Structure 1
Amino acid sequence: MIEEIQLFEIPVVEDVRGNLGVIESGFLPFEFKRVYYLFDVPSSAFRGGHSHILQKEVLIALSGSFEVTIHDGNSKKSYLLNKPNIGLLIPNGFWRELENFSSGAVCLVLASDVFDEEDYIRDFNVFLNSKK
């Protein structure tokens, strides 16, 4: 259900020289095994467009902003990510689409597992059928 999607605050160490966002082991509801980031995404481009069978992810806008639309098979909800101390937790089994990237946007992704093409559902109709 869409209520499983969570925005959460990342601990920040404030310093006059610049702030530090801290994600330590045990902070997330899963141990992450892969970290990757999206950058130089044209504002008209779409990213995502898939669901994971098992993998969970956290998305963070390290710089700039972008919109994440989540679909649970019945309803959808959009989230604007635009602060480096706010993460969006996406459990497995949710379709996600990323769009409206601002200039200079960087999306950090913390994933619960390594890349495995077999874990992806890339066809929206197949995703919808998996929810029945």
Structure 2
Amino acid sequence: MQEIKEPYKLLEFKEYGDERGNLVVAEGSGFDIPFDIRRVFYMSGSDPDIRRGMHANRYTKFVLINVSGSSKVLVDDGHKKEIVVLDKPRMGLYLGPMVWKEMYDFSPDSVLLVLASEHYIDSEYLRDYDEFIEEVKKGEN
């Protein structure tokens, strides 16, 4: 897989199935996931009206995969906003650096898996939307 230039992009992983069930494969290190995976976490048990995320990251890249159930993701690169529905385990949402993200409308069986390019570093998080927009504007100059 080549480096992704877009701030966010839907990815489709290989899925194999037979009478035993389905197997979805997502390999890291530039194969299916366009980065080395340094951190993995997942969200479950969130009510549909709860909003998660609500931040941007200065340099961490992410891939979000709803391995069970569904959720919606509001993505905002500072210029345009889009809502992406994650409802298939073979679908991933790549989020590059400086993308505001809000996950919500979780189904009762939702398990949202997140693959990250970096370990957790609190100082790279932008948790205030206005601050995020200001940094986007500064980056354009």
Normalized against structure 2, the TM-score is what? 0.88
**Equivalent residue for 1:5, pick from 8, 20, 25:** 8
Measured after TM superposition, the shift of residue 32 of structure 1 is: 0.8
Amino acid of the structure 2 residue aligned with 1:57: F
Task: List aligned pairs for 1:1-132, cutoff 5 A.
Answer: 3-25=6-28, 26-27=30-31, 28-132=33-137
Measured after TM superposition, the shift of residue 98 of structure 1 is: 0.6
Measured after TM superposition, the shift of residue 13 of structure 1 is: 2.2
Query: Which has the higher mean CA deviation after the structures are superposed, 72-81 or 24-33?
Result: 24-33
Runs of 4+ more than 6 Å apart: none
Query: Which has the higher mean CA deviation after the structures are superposed, 81-90 or 6-15?
Result: 6-15
| Distance in 2 of aligned mates of 1:15 and 1:32 | 29
Amino acid of the structure 1 residue aligned with 2:80: S
Using the aligned pairs only, state the percent identity: 39
| Distance in 2 of aligned mates of 1:51 and 1:32 | 18
| Distance in 2 of aligned mates of 1:131 and 1:7 | 22
Which 5+ residue runs of structure 2 have no aligned equivalent? Answer: 1-5
Which 5+ residue runs of structure 1 have no aligned equivalent? Answer: none
Amino acid of the structure 1 residue aligned with 2:11: F
Q: How many residues align?
A: 130
Query: Which has the higher mean CA deviation after the structures are superposed, 118-127 or 18-27?
Result: 18-27
| Distance in 1 of aligned mates of 2:104 and 2:13 | 23
Measured after TM superposition, the shift of residue 14 of structure 1 is: 1.6
Measured after TM superposition, the shift of residue 126 of structure 1 is: 0.4
Amino acid of the structure 1 residue aligned with 2:12: E
